[in-house]
Chain A
Amino acid sequence: GQSLEQPSEVTAVEGAIVQINCTYQTSGFYGLSWYQQHDGGAPTFLSYNALDGLEETGRFSSFLSRSDSYGYLLLQELQMKDSASYFCAVRFSGGYNKLIFGAGTRLAVHP
């Protein structure tokens, strides 16, 4: 089967950097995605890593190590609007672009 582990909560201050880790166990791994969800809203796509290394998109970066079954989302220059839940999701073999999601990390950004 597939499983993902990520911290349930993270707290940080405005302007800081925070890293949200995700470890996974899956057969036939294709890639790791990250999604952001504000309270009462729908998840929105942030990034996708299929290969090892760091992908940068503005203030957000995502990293993958396939050999360690590990990835992280790095948020820089934190803003209050970054307070949200963040989900890692594994795309695994079996086709149809199915994703299995972690339970989510709730990020609280304080002034």
Chain B
Amino acid sequence: DAGITQSPRHKVTETGTPVTLRCHQTENHRYMYWYRQDPGHGLRLIHYSYGVKDTDKGEVSDGYSVSRSKTEDFLLTLESATSSQTSVYFCAISESGGDGYTFGSGTRLTVV
């Protein structure tokens, strides 16, 4: 009954290859976010979306792009993966201010 799912859950890729992570929600929430989590840094915002085709950069957006062609899907693309992008990636959704985020289960990405 998860309202938000991420795929894949795990991925190993080679440096220089493109990678796309998918976030899918069934809650019809307006806002969607991509965060990365690294030891000692907590969660850092990569990109976010406030509607279909409406996206903007977060605090660590270099090397990443996003797309949201439907309310339910938010894609994160690493155009050319680097080892510094090895991380756990979380997608989150929210409906309005003050509401807590609901996070997906995360994608563990390893770039070798």
Contact = CB atoms under 8 A, between A and B. Distances in A.
Given A42-B90, A50-B98, A98 B103 contact: no
B29 to A, nearest CB: 10
Range of interface residues on B (Cβ < 8 Å)? 20 to 34
Contact of A31 (B31, B94, B98): B98
Main secondary structure of the interface of A (DSSP, over half): strand
Interface residues of A, number: 25
Given A43-B90, A103-B40, A96 B31 contact: yes
Interface in A66-93: 87, 89, 91
18 contacts: A30-B97, A35-B101, A43-B43, A43-B101, A45-B101, A87-B42, A87-B43, A89-B43, A91-B97, A96-B48, A96-B56, A98-B33, A98-B45, A98-B48, A99-B33, A100-B45, A101-B35, A101-B42
Contacts, number: 58
A106 to B, nearest CB: 11
A11 interface: no
Interface string B95-110: 0111111111110000
A19 interface: no
Top 4 A-B pairs ranked by shortest CB distance?
A: A45-B100, A42-B103, A101-B43, A103-B42
Contacts of A30: 97
